[in-house]
Amino acid sequence: MSALSLCVSLQTKLKAERSRQKTVETLQKAAHSQRTEAAQNRREEKRRAEKERMMNEDDPDKQRKLEVRMSICLSIIHISTSADIKVYCRTFNFSI
């Protein structure tokens, strides 16, 4: 094998490796996006179910308490980081 042939072979291998890495990165990003979207859908469904449960409650006092809990928990979610959310929600006995 000549030096030129070896050099071309090395360049081809490097190009193929970069291409593989790019493909893996693209697949990982797509998988991450799908997981993120699925997590968001689960959170929305959980919120919807909680709201439905609140609306179906017959006892007005209990319904008011559920509304207060839900509004506090949603406020915390918008303000805090994910680590803080768990701490606050445990303090107020919420489940998210």
Tokens linked to 42: 């689960």
Tokens linked to 36: 């993120």
Contact 54, 75 (CB under 8 A): no
Task: Identify the pLDDT of residue 31.
Answer: 95
The model's pTM is: 0.53
Q: What is the pLDDT along the chain (96 residues), one digit of tens a residue?
A: 566 666 778 888 899 999 999 999 999 999 999 999 999 999 889 888 888 887 777 777 877 777 777 776 665 555 555 555 555 555 555 554
**Type of residue numbered 33:** S
Q: What is the CA radius of gyration of the chain?
A: 26
